[in-house]
Amino acid sequence: MSQATTTDTQLGFTSLDEETAVDSLAVKGDVPGWLTGALVRVTPAKLEVGERRLAHWFDGIAMLNRFGFADGRVSYKNRFIDSVAYRDSKEGEWRHGGFATDPCRSIFKRVQSVFSPDFTDNPNVNMARLGERYIAMTETPLPIQIDPETLDTVGRLEYADKLKAHVTTAHPHHDRERGELVNYHAHFSRMSKYVLYGMSGDSSARRVIAELPVKEPSYMHSFGMSERYLILAEHPLRVNPLKMVVSGKPFIENYEWRPGEPAVFHVVDHETGALRGIYETDAFFCFHHVNAFERAGGDELVIDLIAYDDPSIIDALYLDAGGARGPLPSNELRRYVVDLQGGGVRREVLADNVELPRIDYARCNTRPYRYAYCTGFGDGWMDRLVKVDVSDGSRSEWSQRDCYPGEPVFVRRPGTDDEDAGVVLSVVLDTAAGRSFLLVLDAGSFEEVARAEAPHHIPFGFHGQFVRA
């Protein structure tokens, strides 16, 4: 059993080395009988390598956590992903670059690292379904295939194409009509480019949708997709790739914030790959898109995302012995409305101080929607769950003292039509108890219906998916 006893948010940044499996967890309340399948999440669970504390939350070694549901019972297991980064960490080595932790290589080795697509394979951000396969991902284009039932590592997904990429997102979209996973990557060179691509579920070859040349690429953690368009929200956090290779700095510290420059929406026609237009607005920074859709007969493009005034959120997530540096800067769930004909961009605020947004992706992604489920925060770490009605800005909240919830994942109840008919699942760290639990909320009322106690603390994590049985 875990021996961690820290009773504040430091516990969420305390490594978990234990791997275990429990057939039936203790449950308080009643887990709906219709809920069958598993919530599988990716967690940066190992935050030290040898004697070295990793510099940033985003560099933690990836672990899978699985909560399984059947007949009102909840099982649990966790397992590290068997990546090269994980195997190196067991030997006390940090051999490859990370988000903000430098491997301390020579300049020659650093040049090789930056311009090679394999400088790290630590898939600690998210997972996605690709046909009948499941992949764990980070922001380098090296997804690792995993078994969501056993949590076995199947192996690295080898692309059946010759596209070269250096940075990508761990937030792909699913294209219902084409049966494709859609994503973007950046290729660094003297003249860099953004590449939007699709990959069908039964293939490992990426189909190029569009290529956009760029001199100094922006750091983009996610992107938007409506029924007709793909949207790159390019904020002015930029890098000169040629300077990057000799800077001696970790990856993200090569990017420069330029607040005097605009943020730019690149809108690409998904069918033809043609650039529909470039639309400018005031500078902002974003990790997560929420949704995008067209309205007004297709003349307006609505883009909902979590916006910060600047990228200070990155600095807040650096680690020291006590946890994240903090505090979390304020933000807005912001709606941008792009006039595709006239070129204007206007914005409105839908909510404030929320993160890790989720919606009912199966039905609402790329379409008008009403509800977003998020974590929320006040003066400290994320300490509540928030349901936002984007039609009027009203919100419902769940919170409990000494409890810090993770990303809320919506699961629709079969055979229902209401957008919030189902449950919201979140892994919550209870620092007073020194362990985590799986929380089940009724998505409509946003009231607790059940919780299942995990056998140990689970470090703060990012994203995951519900895998139906």
- pLDDT (average), residues 14-36: 97
Select the more confidently predicted residue: 249 or 436: 436
- Residue 19, pLDDT > 60, answer yes
Q: Is 107 left (phi over 0), alpha (psi -120 to 50) or beta?
A: alpha
As a whole number of Å, the CA-based R_g of the chain is 21
- pLDDT (average), residues 115-134: 84
- Round to whole Å and give the CA distance between 160 and 206: 8
- Round to whole Å and give the CA distance between 83 and 45: 14
- Residue 200, pLDDT > 60, answer yes
Buried b (16+ CB within 10 A) or exposed e, 282-293: ebbbbbbbbbbb
Buried b (16+ CB within 10 A) or exposed e, 398-418: beeeebbbbbbbbbbbeeeee
| Other beta carbons within 10 Å of 64 | 27
In which residue are the tokens 């192996």 written?
155
Single out the residue of 220, 165, 163, 221 nearest to residue 188, CA to CA: 165
Task: Specify the pLDDT at position 104.
Answer: 57
- Round to whole Å and give the CA distance between 70 and 422: 16
Q: Summarize pLDDT for 439-459 with one digit per residue, the tens.
A: 999 999 999 999 999 999 999
- Residue 116, pLDDT > 70, answer no
The C-alpha angle with vertex 304 and arms to 301 and 308, in degrees rounded to 5, equals 130
The answer to whether the beta carbons of residues 42 and 62 sit under 8 Å apart is: yes
For the four alpha carbons of 142, 145, 151 and 153, in that order, the dihedral sign comes to negative
Percent of the chain exceeding pLDDT 70 equals 95
Q: Summarize pLDDT for 29-75 with one digit per residue, the tens.
A: 999 999 999 999 999 999 999 999 999 999 999 999 999 999 999 99
Q: Is 112 left (phi over 0), alpha (psi -120 to 50) or beta?
A: alpha
Provide CATH code, domain 31-372.
2.120.10
In which residue are the tokens 């009912």 written?
360
Say how many Å lie between the first and final Cα of the chain, rounded: 29
The answer to whether the beta carbons of residues 78 and 20 sit under 8 Å apart is: yes
Paired residues of 439 in beta bridges: 426, 451
Domain extents for the chain? 31-372
Give me the half-sphere count of Cα atoms (radius 13 Å) on the Cβ side of residue 176.
Answer: 11
Model confidence band, residue 379 (pLDDT cutoffs 50, 70, 90): confident
